[in-house]
Structure 1
């Protein structure tokens, strides 16, 4: 699971959970897989994600080296930083680990790079049909 994917996941369908974001993340196996660098894609993606959540996830799995806690406005001109962000977003993959709901503590396993977000019937918030 790429950290870009992690940044889009939430556990807000669990009973009693109102936000469910950002999910905590731990890893027991991480791989870095090379992906072609596209600075325009990285810049565009940064406008659509929650950067503090990305930074925390990268830090939690040990891949935040060189990432700032907060992004500056002049990021388009900083190719070195864009490459580090590209690495965190697209190249770092959690193969084994787990996600943790910040409100309920519910754990979701990650196996073979795929998070299992399935809930038990009794965990699901009743949603009017």
Structure 2
């Protein structure tokens, strides 16, 4: 599971969950893959991302060292930051781990890079 995917996933579909975002990430196995840098794509996707949730996910896997606390106003002109955001969002792959709902503490496993968010009908 890419960190980009994590940034858009929530547990709002669960019964009695109002927020469900961001899911707390815990990773047991991480792989890093080379993905070609696409400056225009990263510039278009960053405004759609929740930077605070991205930072929190990066902290949970010890990858936040080169990430500012908040997204600077001039981020779109900062090539070094754009490349770091690309690396974080597209090159890091969570292979094994868990996502935890912040409201209910329900655990969703990540197996072979795929988050399992399926629930029983009575939990919806």
User: How would you bin the TM-score normalised by the shorter chain?
Assistant: over 0.9
CA-to-aligned-CA distance 1:5-45 (integer Å, 9 cap, x gap): 00110101111101100000000000111100112211111
- Relative to the length of structure 1, the TM-score reads 0.93
Deviating beyond 6 angstroms after TM superposition, the runs of 4 or more aligned structure 1 residues are none
| Residue-by-residue CA offset, 1:38-61 (whole Å, 9 max, x unaligned) | 122111111111110011001111
Q: Could you list the per-position Cα deviations for residues 82-101 of structure 1 after superposition, in whole angstroms to 9, with x for gaps in the alignment?
A: 11110111101100000000
Q: What TM-score, normalized to structure 2?
A: 0.96
1:114 aligned residue: 114
More helix by share: 2
Aligned residues: 124
Larger radius of gyration: 1
5+ residue gaps, structure 1, are 125-129
For 1:61 and 1:33, the matched residues in 2 are separated by 16
Aligned residues: CA RMSD: 0.8
Give the Cα–Cα distance (whole angstroms) in 2 for the partners of residues 28 and 90 of structure 1.
18
Partner Cα separation in structure 1 for residue 49 and residue 39 of structure 2? 16
Tell me the alpha carbon deviations over residues 83-124 of structure 1, each in whole angstroms, 9 at most, x when there is no partner: 111011110110000000000000000000000000022211
